[in-house]
Structure 1
Amino acid sequence: MSERTVSAQEIVVGGGGLLGRHILGVLGNRLSRRVRIPWDDHGRACEQLYALGRDLAQQPARWNLYWCAGLAVFHTPAEQVERERLQVSLLLAGINDGLERSGGPTGGALFLASSAGGAFAGSEHPPFTEFSPPVPTNPYGASKLAVEEEAEVLARRWRLPTVSGRITNLYGPGQNLDKNQGLVSALVKAQLTGEPLRLRAALETTRDYIYARDCARMVVSAMETVRSRTRGTDPHVRKIFSSGRRLRIDELLRIAERLFDRPVPVVHEPVAGGANVNLSVESRVWADLESSPFLSIEEGMRAVRSDLRYRLGHG
């Protein structure tokens, strides 16, 4: 029997965010539970996350847990970053303690959303791969790597199949406009409203932009086969989730202006100590997950613009 035909509980934490919502959509009626955590109450959130991990780990049933939560971005203050790191750390501690109580092994598997930009912000010699030395330059990147390392220890101790997904620049309909990220959504919003895009990076800054639905599809595919892929090998896998397309900021601006025949108003706000100008990546792990066609940046921008027109009341 193939791994895909064996049913599993599918549990998503962070289903209100961009990636989480799209994973919910890909899972469809296979979803067993969207976990709702009281994020505004840090103490209760920590308690519930620990209990979730502990209780799941003691279940004999097969389960896939997707961690997609977190509001922190590249320039988030260290205090908030640490709060979010502690939350996911307690989830992992709960899984560990649950496995100790049950004596393991578990039928579970774990996906943790991490950050390619956070990992490689200070790295040298792009394009970066899963084998490039990570060099974080701020608390956000350091926190993501710390969580990856905790997950690696847990996975190896209990043979728990785990994917730390280093995701590139995620974009798509429904992106949180209050978060200081999401260049594609921000430039389309500026184009629609006329309010200038406050650009904190050089125009030649090169990134990989992946449409949220495409990323979610890859994540679910990874979790459908993670047990067979890691059987007899390291149970912890670091995987870059990217579109494989490298785009400069000035190219994005030209694409938007060509598509919608309207300039993007920009105000430049240089920030010292930012990430690499060139954060190109090239995934060399489980490359078959990227065999399906990705939505083009043009079609992705159209989808974002349609969503923003509705949300901003532009008809």
Structure 2
Amino acid sequence: MIRRALVTGGAGFIGSHVADRLLEHGYEVEIIDDLSSGRRENVPEGACFHHADIASPDAARLVREGRFDVLCHLAAQIDVRKSVNDPAADARINILGTLNLLEAIRAGGHGTRVVFSSTGGAIYGDFVPIPSVEDMPKDPESPYGIAKLAVELYLAYYGRVHGLETVALRYSNVYGPRQDPHGEAGVVAIFCNRLLKGEPLTVYGDGRQTRDYVFAGDVARANVAAASVSLPAARQVDVRAYNIGTGLETSVLDLAATLQRAAGTSVPVDHTTPRAGELPRSAVDNSKAERELGWRPEMALEDGLRMTYDYFARRARGMAA
């Protein structure tokens, strides 16, 4: 029997990769996206597209009546700075929008599994060892991180009280083709665009701050694994949560150098004022995902950066044509 999947945010950067992978695995895929940041061209051929807001009655009706086997929930407000400037708007999308979907699943009674895209960078905060492990204390430093943690707590509640199958995937810094070069989440895409224009790369502070860069295709594989694997019994919030990253720290300076090497080009690196509140280090331990999901990252950073740069180069040539 063909399994059915609904991908929220499926016209976006990561969501479209998840939809691609589900289709490759034989799923019948439908997508919800309001196109506020997603692109219609990212929706893969073979997926059924619904232009809708996840907080809307239309989205709830689709979830309630769609008899989906899995809901991969990636639709979100993802800009940390926007969450700081307007935490209520962030909560309306990231918390209330998710609750709209969860209540629809509960009302539908089909047993749809929820695979939620959470964050490994923003959820743990400054006070835990690196690489972070799932059961470490959480002290998010932004409304965005707080909202992601709140949704995870709701997922644990729905699992324990209502019997829903829920999984939280805590991503490190995701990069790859289709990444948005605008906003704070797209440093690799921003660097690619600057390299293509021959412009200097701007680095905040000394550039020694580290991140754990994981390729979008590997993240998509994690979603497919989480869609069907046997889950532990619903208990505390961390029991069904999995870090999805490489466990490796890469400084912004090293990222810039590796990307220039992958691109076969060189531009100056300009340093500017550090950003307030930026984490000095971030990386996640992925051993639980390897043990329980059978997942591990496959893409080496330099190879993934080369693929990403090639994508932006092809896109730039297409726009110039």
- Would the TM-score normalized by the shorter structure come out above 0.5? yes
Question: Counterparts of 1:99-138 in structure 2 under 5 Å?
Answer: 101=107, 104=109, 106-138=110-142
2:219 corresponds in structure 1 to: 215
Which of 5, 13, 16 is matched with 1:10 structurally?
A: 5
Give distance in 1, aligned partners of 2:92 and 2:120: 20
TM value normalised by structure 1:
0.83
Q: CA RMSD in A?
A: 2.8
1:45 matched to 2:53: yes
- Out of 204-213 and 254-263, give the one that drifted further: 254-263
Q: Does 1:246 align with 2:249?
A: yes
Deviations 1:215-252 (A, max 9, x none): 10111111121xx2235766961111112332122222
Post-superposition offset of 1:299:
1.1
Unaligned runs of 5+ in 2: 38-51
Q: Considering Cα pairs closer than 8 Å and 6+ residues apart, tell me whether 1 or 2 has the greater RCO.
A: 1
TM-fit CA distance, 1:71: 4.0
Moved more, 239-248 or 283-292: 283-292
Shift in Å at residue 66 of structure 1? Answer: 0.9
Question: What TM-score does the superposition give when structure 2 sets the normalisation length?
Answer: 0.82
Secondary structure of residue in 2 paired with 1:111: strand
Stretches of structure 1 lacking an aligned partner (at least 5 in a row): 1-5
Taking a change above 3 Å as real, the CA distance of residues 90 and 51 of structure 1, as seen in their structure-2 partners, is farther
- Cα distance in 2, alignment partners of residues 56 and 15 from structure 1: 15
CA shift at 1:309, angstroms?
1.0
User: Residue 89 of structure 1 contacts residue 150 of structure 1 at CA under 8 Å; is this kept in 2?
Assistant: no
What secondary structure sits across from 2:153 in the alignment?
A: helix
1 CA distance for matches of 2:231 and 2:106? 25
Which residue is 1:70 aligned to?
76
Q: Which residues in structure 2 correspond to 1:18-29 (within 5 Å)?
A: 18-28=13-23, 29=26
Cα distance between partner residues in 2 of 1:177 and 1:116: 21
Aligned partner letter, 1:33: E
2:95 corresponding residue in structure 1: 89
Map residues 1-315 of structure 1 onto 2, 5 A cutoff. 7-28=2-23, 29-37=26-34, 39=36, 45=53, 47-48=55-56, 50-53=57-60, 56-57=63-64, 61=67, 63-78=69-84, 80-95=86-101, 97-98=103-104, 101=107, 104=109, 106-225=110-229, 228-231=230-233, 237-288=240-291, 289=293, 291-292=295-296, 294-313=298-317
Provide closer, same or farther for how the CA distance between residues 265 and 190 of structure 1 changes in structure 2, counting only shifts above 3 A: farther
Q: Which residue of 1 aligns with 2:43?
A: none
User: Conserved in 2, the CA contact under 8 Å of 1:54 and 1:97?
Assistant: no
* Cα separation, partners in 2 of 1:308 and 1:214, compared to 1, 3 Å: same
Cα pair 1:63 1:108 within 8 Å, conserved: yes
**Residues 195 and 280 of structure 1: CA distance in aligned 2, closer, same or farther (over 3 Å):** same
Flag the 1:139–1:285 CA change in 2: closer, same or farther, 3 A.
same
Q: Alignment identity in percent?
A: 23
Letter of the 2:76 counterpart: G
Deviation at 1:11, TM superposition (A): 0.3
Check conservation: 2:200, 2:267, Cα contact below 8 A. yes
The separation in 2 between residues aligned to 1:179 and 1:263, in whole angstroms, is 24
Deviation at 1:153, TM superposition (A): 1.7
Matches of 1:130 and 1:286, distance apart in 2: 10
Letter in 2 for 1:158: H
Change (3 A) 1:97 1:206: closer
